[in-house]
């Protein structure tokens, strides 16, 4: 049956606050580096000084091809920067690296018909919406850019990737808030499992470091406060002093491939996609239920589809965004799934870390970037650290190994990553050594 087709990861590409390029970003992450900086210092005069939260996970940029930075001239084709919104630019860069890493070009029409794209975004391009709104108010229709609509559509990352590389297979765009990246990878996996494609370029992108976005999240009291003078300490998942999430930007791309197809061409294999589970809270537009039932359902569904036991999973890349309520609920949900009877000691449970402590929360791109970090954790047998975990709140049930401050070398044969989004949408992915 088509559903028996196995799916592996053969290529990775990343644009992130801890660096552009897989090697650079991973090294920065495991060495405890942070990509969270002051928006006021990085973008003076843009209006961030009027906001209560002024820190973000910012993609490093340069115009001199500096290692690990985003350079539009070096990384994009001529004209891309004018034709494409920021989230599409990041997606094109991550896709280019992932395809080169996989060594996949699909040179024949038959191969192109069996290669697809599943790439999403949570918000799209607020920059283009606000800029064209201002231009319309000031000068009417003649001031509107003809690229306005093509830039802001949420499927334009997927569309432009498919056009650039001539992929004729499924072209699909996911937009499920902060679960977008995980859903894109899971859905792409199923396209391969059910025979719609042999190769899929999957992932997500976000470029919403815009005053309006920060103002909106500030109004619902979601962002970290009190850290404007020390931005690298702002994102502190699981810590007693966590005070909200830090908004971030970036993109993650994975080349997914049917196992026999990958083996036949001698492709590099990072890991296998073993499980995918998704669920809805059916509860509230921004808050999960207190027992984390939706998160539990997603994790259990992923474990069932992976056909492995919880004991085989030795690392979890948590969604944990550094909010007081969200981290506690996810922590409780993890313990309910992995130790339902409460009879296992923390040493018997998976190590759990949140790489958002280094990158901030990349919104729609979070699940894709964190899936990459999870795959690399398996490949390198390293659990990346949770930064800023200075005071663990054991009284509130935080009694697991959260990999504080420093990466941990450990055998990781299988790992799970969680993503949860507004609207009560949840997804879990499981990757494993082949």
**Mind listing the pLDDT tens digit for each residue in 119-132?**
999 999 999 999 99
| CA distance linking residue 182 with residue 188, whole number of Å | 10
Pair 252, 307 in one domain: no
Choose one of 264, 299, 318: the last residue of a domain: 264
| Catalytic residue selected from 93, 118, 154, 178 | 178
**Can you tell me whether residue 307 is helix, strand or coil?**
coil
Residues 6 or more apart whose Cβ sits within 8 Å of residue 216: none
Catalytic residue list contains 118: no
- Is the Cβ–Cβ distance between 384 and 29 less than 8 Å? yes
Own/partner contacts of 277-283, CB < 8 Å, gap of 24 or more, are 277/301, 277/302, 277/303, 277/304, 277/305, 277/427, 277/428, 278/179, 278/183, 278/186, 278/425, 278/426, 278/427, 278/428, 279/426, 279/427, 280/424, 280/425, 280/426, 281/424, 281/425, 281/426, 282/424, 283/424
Pair 34, 177 in one domain: yes
Structural domain span for residue 324: 275-432
**CATH code of residue 165:** 3.40.47.10
Pair 286, 258 in one domain: no
- pLDDT, position 290: 94
Pair 313, 196 in one domain: no
| CA distance linking residue 36 with residue 385, whole number of Å | 15
Residues 6 or more apart whose Cβ sits within 8 Å of residue 292: 329, 330, 332, 333, 336
- pLDDT, position 421: 97
Counted domains in the chain = 2
Pair 279, 260 in one domain: no
- pLDDT, position 344: 81
Q: Tell me how many helices (H) and strands (E) the chain has.
A: 16, 15
Question: Domain for residue 1, yes or no?
Answer: no
Identify any residues that bridge with 409 across adjacent strands, giving them in sequence order.
382
Pair 305, 377 in one domain: yes
Choose one of 264, 295, 318: the last residue of a domain: 264
| CA distance linking residue 74 with residue 62, whole number of Å | 10
The token duo for 308 is: 């492995």
Pair 87, 236 in one domain: yes
pLDDT confidence band for 63 (50 / 70 / 90): confident
| CA distance linking residue 200 with residue 253, whole number of Å | 10
| CA distance linking residue 218 with residue 49, whole number of Å | 13
CA angle, 282 then 284 then 288, to 5°? 85
Q: How many CA atoms lie within 13 A of 394 on its CB side?
A: 4
The token duo for 412 is: 């990781």
Look at residue 1 and tell me whether its pLDDT is greater than 50. Answer: no
- pLDDT, position 395: 87
Question: Domain for residue 306, yes or no?
Answer: yes
Angle, helix 211-219 to helix 126-139, in steps of 10 degrees: 110
Mean pLDDT value across residues 363-379: 98
- pLDDT, position 61: 95
Pair 229, 248 in one domain: yes
Residues 6 or more apart whose Cβ sits within 8 Å of residue 53: 214, 217, 218, 223, 224, 225, 228, 244, 246, 247
**Which of 115-124 are b and which e, b meaning 16 or more Cβ less than 10 Å from the residue's Cβ?**
bbbbbbbbbb
Pair 251, 288 in one domain: no
Question: Domain for residue 14, yes or no?
Answer: yes
Pair 146, 252 in one domain: yes
Choose one of 205, 238, 264: the last residue of a domain: 264
Question: Domain for residue 164, yes or no?
Answer: yes
Pair 236, 336 in one domain: no
Query: pLDDT tens digits, residue range 394-433?
Result: 889 999 999 999 999 999 999 999 999 999 999 999 999 9
Pair 228, 337 in one domain: no
**Can you tell me whether residue 35 is helix, strand or coil?**
coil
Query: pLDDT tens digits, residue range 16-59?
Result: 999 999 999 999 999 999 999 999 999 999 999 999 999 999 99
Query: pLDDT tens digits, residue range 292-331?
Result: 999 999 999 999 999 999 999 999 999 999 999 999 999 9
């Amino acid at each position: 049956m088509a559903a028996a087709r196995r799916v592996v990861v053969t290529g990775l590409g990343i644009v992130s606050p801890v660096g552009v390029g897989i090697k650079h970003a991973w090294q920065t992450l495991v060495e405890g580096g942070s990509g969270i900086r002051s928006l006021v210092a990085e973008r003076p005069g843009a209006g961030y000084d009027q906001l209560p939260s002024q820190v973000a996970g910012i993609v490093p940029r340069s115009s001199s091809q500096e290692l690990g930075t985003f350079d539009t001239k070096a990384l994009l084709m001529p004209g891309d920067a004018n034709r494409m919104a920021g989230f599409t630019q990041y997606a094109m860069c991550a896709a280019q690296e992932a395809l080169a890493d996989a060594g996949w070009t699909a040179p024949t029409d038959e191969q192109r018909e069996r290669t697809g794209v599943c790439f999403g975004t949570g918000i799209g391009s607020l920059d283009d919406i606000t800029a064209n709104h201002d231009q319309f108010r000031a000068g009417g229709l003649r001031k509107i850019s003809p690229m306005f609509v093509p830039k802001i559509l949420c499927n334009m990352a997927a569309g432009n990737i498919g056009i650039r590389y001539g992929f004729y297979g499924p072209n699909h765009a996911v937009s499920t808030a902060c679960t977008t990246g995980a859903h894109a990878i899971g859905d792409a996996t199923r396209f391969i499992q059910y025979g719609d494609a042999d190769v899929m370029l999957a992932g997500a992108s976000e470029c919403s470091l815009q005053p309006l976005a920060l103002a909106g999240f500030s109004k619902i009291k979601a962002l970290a406060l009190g850290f404007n003078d020390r931005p690298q300490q702002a994102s502190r998942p699981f810590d007693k002093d966590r005070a909200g999430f830090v908004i971030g930007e970036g993109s993650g791309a994975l080349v997914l491939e049917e196992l026999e197809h990958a083996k036949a061409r001698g492709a590099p294999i990072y890991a296998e996609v073993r499980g995918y589970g998704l669920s809805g809270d059916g509860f509230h537009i921004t808050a999960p239920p207190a027992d984390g039932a939706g998160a539990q359902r997603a994790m259990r569904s992923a474990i069932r589809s992976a056909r492995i036991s919880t004991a085989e999973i030795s690392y979890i890349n948590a969604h944990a965004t550094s909010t007081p309520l969200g981290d506690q609920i996810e922590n409780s949900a993890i313990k309910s799934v992995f130790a339902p009877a409460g009879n296992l000691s923390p040493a018997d449970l998976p190590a759990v870390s949140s790489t958002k402590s280094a990158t901030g929360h990349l919104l729609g791109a979070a699940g894709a970037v964190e899936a990459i970090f999870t795959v690399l954790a398996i490949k390198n047998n390293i659990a990346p650290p949770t930064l800023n975990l200075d005071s663990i709140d054991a009284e509130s049930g935080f009694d697991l190994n959260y990999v504080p401050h420093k990466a941990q070398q450990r055998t990781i044969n299988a790992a799970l990553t969680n993503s949860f989004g507004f609207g009560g949408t949840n997804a879990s992915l499981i990757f494993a050594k082949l």
